[in-house]
Structure 1
Amino acid sequence: MKKLLTIAAAGATLAIAMPAEQVQAQQTESRLFEITRNGVLRVCQYPLYYSISFRNPATGEIEGIDADLAQELANELGAELEIVESSFGTFIADLQSDKCEIGMFGIGATLARAQAVEFSQPYLITSIYAVTREGGEITTWSDIDQPGHRVAVSLGSYIEPFMADYLQEAELVVIAPPATREAELVANRVDVIMTDFPTAVKVTDEFDWAMTIEPDEPLRMTPYSYVVPQGDQIWLNYVNLFIDTIKLDGRLQYFAEKNSLGPIVAP
């Protein structure tokens, strides 16, 4: 009996030790080390996102707060920045298939998305806004959800499922890349687009005919975060420290103001 107990105890000790060794192995393997070893940071970005990561048709360069901050992150890592084009409908698959190490393009942190990816702490926080044409039928928030009105949202955005539940009378129009809500509004194929603060600011700045409508009270307040694959706590810790650092040294506020996003910087 004593021999059996000794064997059982040894087996239990081994069972306890093995998971600990596996945990230790996981802690010493990270995308952070791959990036610094290879000297390349692959960042997924949606190149049609005004003020966040928008490809300037004149220069071909991606501009916006996350274009700037992606370069800052690459500089901190001593790595070359490589942009991988993505979208709200594909970024989870792109991360899971190792097309990039991080998504940086104003991604709303939601509980549904958190089942598949890891979110950093927030760096921006925004409500939902509407953008429409001046002189049209829609002039107030209450005008939006009316019969005959076509309301555009981007495929895969956190705004899409929210508006699907929110609208009772108006028609929801889901826009998939390469088409954009803004182009549909310009072409008069939709009456209003539902968007966030960055896009609302940019569209109304660029087009004389565009008008932003705020909801009667903040609607679906959403934190914007960076997103990384699940299971890499070392990499996530580094990204969170990067956000803490740029908040403290003023870089986040500087690049937010540069891109007209100062009012929505996360505390």
Structure 2
Amino acid sequence: MNDLSGLVAEAAPGGTLRVSINVGNAVLARRDGDSAAGVSVDLGREFARRLGVAADLLVFATAAESVDAVRSQKADLGFFAIDPKRSDGIEFSAPYVLIEGAYVVRDGSPLKVNEEVDRAGHRVVVAKGSAYDLFLSRELKQAEIVRVASSQAVVQEFVASGAEVAAGVKQQLEADLARQPGLRLLPGRFMVIQQAMGVPAGRPAVAEALRRFVEEMKAGGFVAQALARHGIQGAGVAPPAA
């Protein structure tokens, strides 16, 4: 961001940059007392600093709530997985981080590979409105999708309900498996989740500044350093935008 004159009124019409933070994805952010900490928090605060305004963190438990806050302009900036269903009302940057969506089954499950999940009679538990919910809603043709309130509730509901499969962000599932014996990840991934930054539609100057900002944060090492600082493993910095 070189010339920011005129951007502040468009980016932060209330005088502070209201940053929507989703703590439902542990790769991006986690609760830290009454606030939050993580890669997305660091990026949001840095963008606000470059604008010369304070960052006001609005912390949400789910991606769907975070998306709605930006789309309704109750927040000025957010962090989301890119998905066609989210493009209405939001302008996205290119991705800054790539993470994996994975499946969990019981140790005794006959399922061995991801391709076996989409079968009649299989129930797949997902977090409502998450990137992988949106993706699997398009991709799964025979399996039934069971939606729960948040990504942290997926494995709990999977175990309690007797469903055949749980789906989620790989890092969240790995943390759940460490607490819940008798489960295993299917090898590989069923999708790559492209995590990007976004602003409400109708703010073209800010959207362009945000795109340049994300490319600079990737190229300069800010994103990689933030991932390391917060102990995030298994997520990679996204390549430069085409």
Give TM class, smaller chain.
0.7 to 0.9
Deviation, 1:123, is: 0.4
Look up the SS of the partner of 1:112 in the other structure: helix
Please say if residues 102 and 191 of structure 2, whose CA atoms lie closer than 8 Å, have aligned partners that are also in contact. no
- Corresponding residue for 1:241? 212
Q: 1:150 aligns with which of 111, 117, 123?
A: 123
Q: 1:100 aligns with which of 51, 75, 83?
A: 75
Cα deviation, 1:184-234, whole Å, max 9, x if unaligned, reads 23545544321234434544566565533234xx64434221111111111
- Corresponding residue for 2:222? 251
Quote the RMSD (CA, aligned, Å).
3.1
Please say if residues 51 and 63 of structure 1, whose CA atoms lie closer than 8 Å, have aligned partners that are also in contact. no
| TM-score, normalising length: structure 2 | 0.77
Look up the SS of the partner of 1:45 in the other structure: strand
Please say if residues 25 and 151 of structure 2, whose CA atoms lie closer than 8 Å, have aligned partners that are also in contact. no
| TM-score, normalising length: structure 1 | 0.71
Look up the SS of the partner of 2:17 in the other structure: strand
Distance 1:62 1:139, change over 3 A: farther
Which is worse superposed, 199-208 or 233-242?
A: 199-208
Q: 1:223 aligns with which of 194, 207, 218?
A: 194
The 2-side partners of 1:265 and 1:202 are apart by 21
The answer to whether 1:34 aligns with 2:33 is no
Q: Which amino acid counterpart does residue 73 of structure 2 have in structure 1?
A: D
Q: 2:43 aligns with which of 66, 69, 82?
A: 69
The answer to whether 1:80 aligns with 2:59 is no
Please say if residues 7 and 206 of structure 2, whose CA atoms lie closer than 8 Å, have aligned partners that are also in contact. no
Deviation, 1:256, is: 1.9
1:38-187 matches, cutoff 5 A: 38=15, 40-55=16-31, 59-86=33-60, 87-104=62-79, 107-136=80-109, 138-177=111-150, 180-185=153-158, 187=160
Q: Which amino acid counterpart does residue 81 of structure 2 have in structure 1?
A: G
Look up the SS of the partner of 1:254 in the other structure: helix
- Corresponding residue for 2:3? none
The 2-side partners of 1:178 and 1:225 are apart by 19
Q: Return the structure number with greater strand share.
A: 2
Please say if residues 105 and 111 of structure 2, whose CA atoms lie closer than 8 Å, have aligned partners that are also in contact. yes
Question: Structure 2: which 5+ runs fail to align?
Answer: 1-5
Question: Structure 1: which 5+ runs fail to align?
Answer: 1-26
The 2-side partners of 1:205 and 1:249 are apart by 34
Which is worse superposed, 167-176 or 227-236?
A: 167-176
Which is worse superposed, 169-178 or 135-144?
A: 135-144
Cα deviation, 1:82-106, whole Å, max 9, x if unaligned, reads 22234333444322432110112xx
Cα deviation, 1:233-266, whole Å, max 9, x if unaligned, reads 1111222222122223211011123342464210
Q: Percent identity?
A: 22
Please say if residues 256 and 262 of structure 1, whose CA atoms lie closer than 8 Å, have aligned partners that are also in contact. no
The 1-side partners of 2:130 and 2:226 are apart by 23
The 1-side partners of 2:147 and 2:37 are apart by 25
Distance 1:242 1:143, change over 3 A: same
The 2-side partners of 1:248 and 1:47 are apart by 25
